[in-house]
Amino acid sequence: MMRKLSIATILVLVSSSHDIANDDLMVAAKQIFKPIPSAIPAVKDNPVTTEKAELGKMLFFDPRLSASGVISCNTRHNLGTGGVDAGPTSVGHGWQKGARRAPTAYNAVFNVAQFWDGRATDHKTQAKGPVQASAEMNATPDHVTSTLNSMEDYVGKFKQAFPRDIPPVTFDNFAKALEAFEATLTTGGSVRPVPEWRCQRSERPTKGGIAAVHEQRVRLLP
């Protein structure tokens, strides 16, 4: 009985995937929306390098940059939960609740502007906001740079990422490194957001369209 049910379910899904792929609305949508690119996009006035992105990753997960020492970028943009935190609104300094839930960090590099209200034109500008906001990380540019300068490993990483800058550890470069890392947080070619730095490559059927997603789900049926 279960075997017959599974076969019937597979046939329904395969048929549905074909119908969805040829639906008039889907055809129209494909003329407007394109698959998320697999390649890391170019970032204006901030070339993405391995050194810069790796530094940005360290900064993204480091709570020592906040005034309390417990809040990091990942607190509100948890990469393990879709690039957001778990509540209806985001929690920050002193367990304050913000007015909104933080938007996802995944694929944000493709946004025409950052923040829900679009007040930041790029990630460099956006990165400087939460770290200084009283309800988020509640820090200052001086706190950020003095904390980073107090650790030799960070100073070395900044020198590698910004070899022409003297001094290399600046609030602007802090923001550029975060922007470079966040440019790598794309889900192109993946059913779920699993960036390459986080784990091994997964199956990547996105470019095949919605039918490929259905086919993958069929393969996972018992």
Round to whole Å and give the CA distance between 79 and 164.
31
Examine residue 43 and state whether it is found in any structural domain, yes or no: no
Residues of the chain short of pLDDT 70, as ranges, are 1-22, 94, 189-222
Question: Residue 184 carries which side chain, given as an amino acid letter?
Answer: T
Two tokens at 35?
């698959």
Q: Which of 51, 54, 136, 196 is catalytic?
A: 136
167 prior amide bond cis, ω within 30? yes
pLDDT at residue 210 in the model: 43
pLDDT at residue 35 in the model: 81
Two tokens at 80?
């393990």
Same domain assignment for residues 56 and 103: yes
pLDDT at residue 221 in the model: 40
Same domain assignment for residues 160 and 63: yes
Task: Give the CA-trace dihedral at 165, 143, 66, 150, to 10 degrees.
Answer: 70
Same domain assignment for residues 131 and 109: yes
Same domain assignment for residues 32 and 111: no
| Domain ranges, residue 68 | 50-182
pLDDT at residue 163 in the model: 97
Same domain assignment for residues 165 and 59: yes
Q: Is 136 a catalytic residue?
A: yes
> Domain total for the chain?
2
pLDDT at residue 172 in the model: 97
pLDDT at residue 142 in the model: 97
pLDDT at residue 7 in the model: 53
Same domain assignment for residues 197 and 129: no
Same domain assignment for residues 116 and 212: no
Same domain assignment for residues 24 and 89: no
Report whether 181 contacts 174 (CB < 8 A): no
Report whether 52 contacts 123 (CB < 8 A): no
User: Which CATH number characterizes residue 121's domain?
Assistant: 1.10.760.10
**Angle at alpha carbon of residue 201, lines to 200 and 202, rounded to 5°:** 115
